[in-house]
Amino acid sequence: MYHALLFLHVLSAFLLVAGVVIYTAFVLGSPVNRGVRLVAEILWGVGGLGVIVFGIWLALNRPAYEIWDGWVIAALVLWVLMMGSGTQVSKHVQPTEGDAAPQIERRAKFAHWMRVAYVVLLLIDMVWKPGA
């Protein structure tokens, strides 16, 4: 059971990061079309949901981990911050006509880069498990 949960947790993380990479292209000036934006939203949503569900399930399933361990609480906080900043970005990045670069507000760009930072911190937390 542990290996299946771990596989699904890591797969979800890959989906999440793929969504962030697509949004990074948008923020850096790539044209935004409906299809690619939809794929990015699906990757972000499915990845985000999978990471939290399988992560909590793993913490409850493994005797070595507890849900109240510091690194698990840090991961939960980072997940909430990450999803909140992702919502801000999703609202402000809209499809453009043709090959025109999107006009993205400065605070949406800031929210995106904060989301990238939260994702990186979450990955660091998952790999090194500080305090475990």
pLDDT of residue 132: 72
Query: Residue 59 belongs to what domain range?
Result: 2-128
Residue-wise pLDDT for 53-71, tens only, equals: 999 999 899 888 888 888 9
- DSSP-assigned letter for residue 64: T
pLDDT of residue 66: 86
pLDDT of residue 121: 96
**59 touches 67 (CB < 8 A):** yes
For residues 3 and 94, give the distance between their C-alpha atoms in angstroms, rounded to a whole number.
Answer: 39
For residues 130 and 132, give the distance between their C-alpha atoms in angstroms, rounded to a whole number.
Answer: 6
Q: How many domains does the chain contain in total?
A: 1
Instruction: Look at residue 131 and tell me whether its pLDDT is greater than 80.
Output: no
Q: The tokens 């993380």 sit on which residue? A: 13
**122 touches 87 (CB < 8 A):** no
State the distance between the two ends of the chain, measured CA to CA, in whole angstroms: 21
